[in-house]
Amino acid sequence: MAKRSRFLSGARILPPPVGRRAAASDLVERTFLAYNAGRLREGARLLAERMLRPGVTVGLSLTGALTPAGLGVSCLVPLLKAGFVDWVVSTGANLYHDAHFGLGLPMHAGSPFLDDRVLREEGVVRIYDVLFAYDVLLDTDAFFRRVLDLPEFQAEMGTAEFHYRLGRYMAEREKALGSGEVSVLAAAWRYGVPVYTSSPGDSSIGMNVAAMRLGGRGVRFDVSLDVNETAAIVYDAKRRGGKSGVWIAGGGSPKNFILQTEPQIQEVLGLDEKGHDYFLQITDARPDTGGLSGATPSEAVSWGKVDPDRLPDTVVCYLDSTVALPLLCAYVFDRVGKRPRKRLYDRRGEMLASMTRAYRRAVGAGKVTQKRKVSR
């Protein structure tokens, strides 16, 4: 009898029949065996068995209109509450639409096959098949303008502090409305999770900030502080003997911002590091078009974003985030439960000071100049 090939060592594909009352986590584990279902199961296992260990610092990036579709309420808030996500990089749009829920402004399920000229005439806004009244935008804008006019916002700050301060007011609205925990910003404030926006001017929040600045009022963003704070989060995790994991929903600017922390540490600051330890991405973008949303973890290795020794601990699932996120959440809540919250927001100053000291030592030792010459 011929020797059995090592390539046939995987589990036999012979799943049980899908029956009634099957738990979502069991469905993923038992029947998601091949193609992108198989990658989703690999991603779920990566999350549950490695990324969500207490010693791993997990960053989550959010791209695409996830909060208008209810993913903030159903997935993101529970993830923050359970301590499964330690820091976040999001588009400003996701945080703006998150505010609708915190303010009690309704979003409605609809159809993508409507006449948008009629919707415009009737004061209805469409995000694919999510529909809401135009007044929702006006009421949300009015809320942000009132808050931005308060004394505490007449200062320069990074987006983590800005969102933390906004989150407190959102939590107050939740309490007044009796809505429960429905806002990501409120949850981030409540559980000490820093939330960054890589492009703070690129959203309706940024538009309202810009309008306030025309009158000499409102916040001024320090984007360099964001770059350094996020790098300090990753640097702190590694210096303490832990690991860094990135969970990427979509791609775009938030993906780059969460990954560029490692090149910032290594290439720019001249500090010894090897890259993120765990990488899980959900995307529908192709790698061959050259866009970052489709860039693979192996490509990220060439930039120093992912540790080359940890490349087996990376998973890319080519799937819509609105499908994958609820399934991944169901899996990890069933398999992990919860873990201690790190409350990284409260440690921002301490982490940044530690990285700053290390950078100054590197400059004094001539390591920064040397590394920059090598990179050229």
DSSP assignment of 165-185, as one string? HHHHHHHHHHHHHT--S--HH
Phi, psi (rounded to 5 degrees) for 335: -90, -25
Query: Cα separations (Å) of 210 from 146, 157, 197, 205?
Result: 14, 15, 15, 9
Instruction: Give alpha helix (H) positions in 56-114.
Output: 71, 77-81, 92-102
| Chain CA centroid to CA 111, Å | 27
Catalytic site residue from 238, 255, 305, 342: 305
- Which residue do the tokens 């538009």 mark? 207
Q: Locate 105 and state its tokens.
A: 């402004």
Tell me if 328 sits within 8 A of 283, measured CB to CB.
no
Measure the CA angle with vertex 300, ends 222 and 370; round to 5°.
Answer: 70
Q: Where are the beta strands (DSSP E) in 80-128?
A: 87-90, 108-109, 124-127
Tell me if 306 sits within 8 A of 245, measured CB to CB.
no
Q: Which of 176, 161, 167 lies closest to 147 in space, CA to CA? A: 167
- Which residue do the tokens 């301490």 mark? 350
Q: What number of residues does the chain have?
A: 376
| Neighbouring C-alpha atoms within 13 Å toward the C-beta of 148 | 25
252-284 CB burial, b ≥16 within 10 A, e <16: bbbbbbbbbbbbbbbbbbbbebbbbbbbbbbbe
- For this structure, is 243 an active site residue? no
d(CA 77, CA 182): 7
Tell me if 74 sits within 8 A of 184, measured CB to CB.
no
Query: Which residues form the catalytic set?
Result: 305
